[in-house]
Amino acid sequence: MKKRVYILLICLSVLGLNSCSDDLETAPITELSLEELLASDPNAVDGLISRLYASFALTGPSGPASSDIVSPDAGEGAFLRAIINLQDFTADAMKNRWGDDGLDQLTTTSNWDQNNKFFRLFYDRAYYTIPQCNNFLQVLDGADFPNEDNLRAETRFLRALAYYNLIDVFGKGVLATEENLGQSDPLPESSRQELFDFVESELLEIEPIISPTSDYGRANRFVVDMLLAKLYINAEVYTGNARWNDAATYVSKIISEGGYTLESNFIKLFSADNDTAGGVIFPLLAESLTSQSYGNTTYIVNGGLSADTMTLSDFGASAGWTGHRSSKGWYGLFGADESALQNSTDVRASLFWTEGHNYEMNDYKSWEDGYPSVKFRNTMSDGSGNPVEFSATDFPFYRLADVYLMYAELALRGATGANLQDALTYVNAVRSRSGASSISSGDLTLDFILDERARELNLEGHRRSDLIRFNKFTGSNYIWPWKGGAASGTSIPDTYRLFPIPATALQANPNLTQNTGF
């Protein structure tokens, strides 16, 4: 069997949070008691928690046209699609040419406002997932069944993951837990620091409880460690207080205790057989038949393909959406022109489609300007596979190469427990796996790490956060094509380090206030 896909197949009622205008009111995740569910189906609990995981991978419980949240296009309401839109399109990595209903604001990092539907969809997705986790925790309270402590820890992790993204993207929100579930009065606004403290305390509590091993696609101790490391490495941005030492503690734990190894074949990490790839710590699952979605890796694969300039079947796709192209902010890190890119020994440099396309992106709405990325594909890593409508390629949300590069960054920032010699070893392991030349200790700088993270991790939902942490997102420290709406790029204000709170959220809860500058 290719992979174990966690899809809810048992009978349950998820009435759901359809909009943030419902003010976090959501019906219980089940209509039956846990005991009744277990009596009728011993696997019911696994089915219930699978539905929570599915909130990060799918759009709704009934196929690609279903949506847990109010969305004119079900696929647009997916968590992964939002991550790509808000992390990669808003930065130097990728640009989209469709321009529909607010997408231009993202791809040009300009004219952001509270009515942009993509901000609302991400906010609504988070505040759909959080109450569902709260519901399940309430159901589990007082229950007596095998593995209940681990299931409770998994649920708290998923809730913490949703909150982490709110911290990163919006910097504030409301703190909804099982303790205030069903409260009729609007919840008070919680600051970035308050949400940070909650996520930190939750992860620290569950870290020694959750199992160090798990089935594929489920959280374990090292997945929790990864989220702690992400929280701490960005703590200076989130709270004003650097936590480099704490980040290094959990990064080192993943390396020394997790048992993960780098996948020798870089392309396999982004192919349909990546469920057997090494170094994947936590994937978001996809399947072409049983978990179809226009918002998972289908969005990445199909979005960057076009029958006009490519053979779709080479990438296992039956449709090309002629939308996403990378800019020289990404492929320029491999070579100053098309010739240098094509002559690079780095396999990562080969994952751009240059035929029929221009190196310079003079017009982000022109398909021919910029190089489409073919990093993700829906074929097996050996190139085999028949074209299908929906991707079967899992999304490697956390992977070991990221951990190695985080370690190197932390060593350069002087974190206790991270040393420069090990950092150099880890960086060269990442590079040599891809055929890139090794570097020397004199090459190992923070600027180099930022560039290497782009070469290794772009289109994986990290870029905006990385640029902010390195102070390269706002202002004029770093200019990329179409930053600020200008073809050659221009400075943007520091207020763009956060997104505006959606108008629907402000209308639903008078305790919420808008972020500065919007």
pLDDT exceeds cutoff 50 at 27: no
* 373 strand-pairing partners: 352
Q: Give pLDDT tens digits for 180-209.
A: 988 889 999 999 999 999 999 999 999 999
In the chain, count H helices and then E strands.
18, 6
Q: What is the mean pLDDT of the chain?
A: 92
Q: Can you tell me the distance from the alpha carbon of 197 to that of 93, in angstroms, rounded to the nearest whole number?
A: 31
Q: Which are the contacts of 185, defined by CB distance < 8 A and separation ≥ 6?
A: none
Q: Give pLDDT tens digits for 432-483.
A: 999 999 999 999 999 999 999 999 999 999 999 999 999 999 999 999 999 9
Give pTM, 2 decimals.
0.94
253: left (phi over 0), alpha (psi -120 to 50) or beta: alpha
Q: Can you tell me the distance from the alpha carbon of 280 to that of 118, in angstroms, rounded to the nearest whole number?
A: 28
Q: Give pLDDT tens digits for 294-340.
A: 999 999 999 999 998 899 999 999 999 999 999 999 999 999 999 99
Please give the pLDDT value at position 29.
54
Q: What is the DSSP string of 422-446?
A: HHHHHHHHHHHHTTPPP--GGG--H
184: left (phi over 0), alpha (psi -120 to 50) or beta: alpha
Please give the pLDDT value at position 24.
59
How would you classify the pairing of strands 94-96 and 189-190? unpaired
Please give the pLDDT value at position 15.
29
Please give the pLDDT value at position 36.
73
Average pLDDT rounded to a whole number, residues 257-261: 98
pLDDT exceeds cutoff 50 at 28: no
pLDDT exceeds cutoff 70 at 8: no
More confident residue, 139 or 6: 139
Please give the pLDDT value at position 39.
67
**Helix ranges restricted to H, 362-445:** 400-412, 420-433
**Helix ranges restricted to H, 343-398:** none
How would you classify the pairing of strands 94-96 and 324-326? antiparallel
* 358 strand-pairing partners: 369
Q: Can you tell me the distance from the alpha carbon of 487 to that of 109, in angstroms, rounded to the nearest whole number?
A: 12
Please give the pLDDT value at position 32.
63
Q: What is the DSSP letter of 161?
A: H
Q: CA–CA distance from 36 to each of 32, 42, 134 (Å)? A: 6, 10, 20
Q: pLDDT band for position 26 (50/70/90)?
A: very low
Provide, rounded to the nearest whole percent, the portion of the chain with pLDDT above 90.
Answer: 85
pLDDT exceeds cutoff 90 at 269: yes
Please give the pLDDT value at position 9.
29
Helix (H) or strand (E) holding 36: helix 34-40
pLDDT exceeds cutoff 80 at 20: no
Please give the pLDDT value at position 434.
98
pLDDT exceeds cutoff 70 at 18: no
